[in-house]
Amino acid sequence: MSLFWIVIRRLAEIEERMATSKKVITREEWEKRLNDVKIRKEDMNKLVMNFLVTEGYVEAAEKFRMESGTEPDIDLATISDRMAVKKAVQCGNVEDAIEKVNDLNPEILDTNPQLFFHLQQQRLIELIRNGKIEEALEFAQEELAPRGEENQTFLEELERTVSLLAFEDVSNCPLGELLDISQRLKTASEVNAAILTSQSHEKDPKLPSLLKMLIWAQNQLDEKAAYPRINNLSNATLEDPTV
C-alpha cells in the first residue's frame, strides 16, 4: 500500500473517532445549564423596545412602554416622522420623502451624497415607471449626470437605470428588477438607516443580530457535541440531541 493511501486511511480513522467521540448532552442537563444563566427581565424588555423603535412600530412601542415601564432611548414622536419618510419612498413619492427628510434634518442629505443620489435615482425610476420618458431624460441629464461625472459608481448606476428606456416593455426587460417593489424597499431602508444614525440610534435592531449569533454558536458546537438544538427560531423549541 502506498504512503498516500496510508495517510488517507489514517485521516479517515481519526475523523471517524472524532465523529463518534462527540459529547452527548441530555435535555435535562442542557435545560439545567440554561436555567443557571440568569437574564434580567429589564434587559429583555430593552431588547424588545430596541426592536420596536428601530423598526418603527410606534404604537406598539408606546403600549410596551406603558405596560413594561421600559423607556425608549429616543423620542417616540420622531418615529412617526421617520416612518412617514419610509412610507413615502415605498409608495414612490420620492420628492415628498426628500422634503420630509430635510424637515427632519437637512444635514442628513447634505452629508450623505450616496443616499441623495439613490433617492434621485429612485425618482428617475418612478418617472420611467409612469412612462414620462422626456421628463425622465431631462431629469437624468440635469440632476444625475453631473453627479455621475464625479463618481464612477454613480455613473454606472445611472447608465444602468437609463438603459430601461431602451425597452418597450420595461417590466420584462433584463433590468426589470429596478422597477420591482424590492428596489423601493431597498431605498427606503437606506433612508431609514440614515435617519436613525442622525439621531444617534443604531440603524439595525439588536434582536436579529443575537439570533445570528445563536445560529453561529450552534454551528460551532455541532462539531463538538450532540445537544438539544433550536432549529425553529420562531418557537425556540429544544429538539432532542441526535447522535
- What is the rounded distance in angstroms from the CA atom of residue 130 to the CA atom of residue 196? 31
Domain, as residue range, for 182: 74-198
pLDDT in tens, 11-31: 555 455 555 567 888 888 888
- What is the rounded distance in angstroms from the CA atom of residue 163 to the CA atom of residue 176? 10
The mean pLDDT of 152-172, rounded to a whole number, is 86
C-alpha cell at 2: 502506498
| Category of 131 on φ-ψ map: left (φ > 0), alpha (ψ -120 to 50) or beta | left
In a domain, 112, yes or no: yes
Whole-number pLDDT of residue 1: 47
**Res. 125: pLDDT tops 80:** yes
Query: In total, how many domains does the chain have?
Result: 2
Whole-number pLDDT of residue 10: 54
**Res. 108: pLDDT tops 50:** yes
Tell me, yes or no, whether 166 and 98 share the same domain: yes
Task: Give the chain's count of helices (H) and strands (E).
Answer: 13, 4
- What is the rounded distance in angstroms from the CA atom of residue 29 to the CA atom of residue 109? 54
For residue 185, the number of C-alpha atoms closer than 13 Å in the C-beta half-sphere is 4
Whole-number pLDDT of residue 189: 92
pLDDT in tens, 202-235: 888 888 888 888 888 888 888 888 888 888 888 8
Tell me, yes or no, whether 21 and 80 share the same domain: no
Whole-number pLDDT of residue 3: 46
Instruction: Collapse the DSSP code of 24 into the 3-class scheme (helix H, G, I; strand E, B; otherwise coil) and give the result.
Output: strand
pTM: 0.72
Angle in degrees, CA 87, 91, 94, rounded to 5: 85
Tell me, yes or no, whether 106 and 139 share the same domain: yes
Tell me, yes or no, whether 131 and 231 share the same domain: no
In a domain, 31, yes or no: yes
